[in-house]
Amino acid sequence: MITASDILKDYALAPLEGEGGFFRFICEFDALGAGSIFYLATEDSFSSLHKLSVGETWVFIAGSPALQLTYDEDADEVRTSTLDRDHECSFVQPGLWQATRSTGPWSLFMTMMKPRYNDSMYTAPYDSLFHKRPELRRWLGA
């Protein structure tokens, strides 16, 4: 049985500070200005609640199914979906809060963004968000 440790080693993944989980940059598509990473969510480390200023495509590769939450603060709408072999892709719209966690030992993804990620695109959750939607606290990092 393949373990999260095997995936970390085989894909040469490193901890993703702030957000959680593990990642490795794969490539940049120069003509598009897009970038791609491998991303691993485990039982103990997952994609914590955050917001990006650009859209992000997620592609399920292997492992346990994962739950993905999106929250549209303007519409006050929370959605959850499953990423697995039957539901392999999702697109998170720019400006939505998002979080993704494995339902088992690990889930491996590839994600893509245009333009390639930089730290100015990332927003961490703030206290007033949880006054409106206290149930979002469980989607914070481990």
Q: What angle do CA 47, 51, 57 make, to 5 degrees?
A: 70
Q: Using the 8-state DSSP alphabet, how is residue 76 labeled?
A: T
Query: What Cα–Cα distance (Å) separates residue 12 from each residue in 25, 40, 72, 79?
Result: 10, 11, 34, 32
pTM assigned to the model: 0.92
Instruction: Give 29's strand partners.
Output: 34
Residue 118 binned pLDDT confidence (cut-offs 50, 70, 90): confident
Can you tell me the distance from the alpha carbon of 34 to that of 45, in angstroms, rounded to the nearest whole number?
26
| pLDDT in the model for residue 28 | 81
> How high does pLDDT run on average in the chain?
93
Q: In terms of pLDDT, which residue wins out, 52 or 118?
A: 52
Nearest CA among 48, 73, 71 for reference residue 81: 71
Residues 6+ positions from 27 with CB-CB distance below 8 Å: 35, 36
DSSP string, 4-37: HHHHHHHTT-EE-TTT-SEEEEEEEETTTTEEEE
Q: Which domains does the chain have, with CATH numbers?
A: 4-139 (2.60.120.10)
Instruction: Give 81's strand partners.
Output: 68
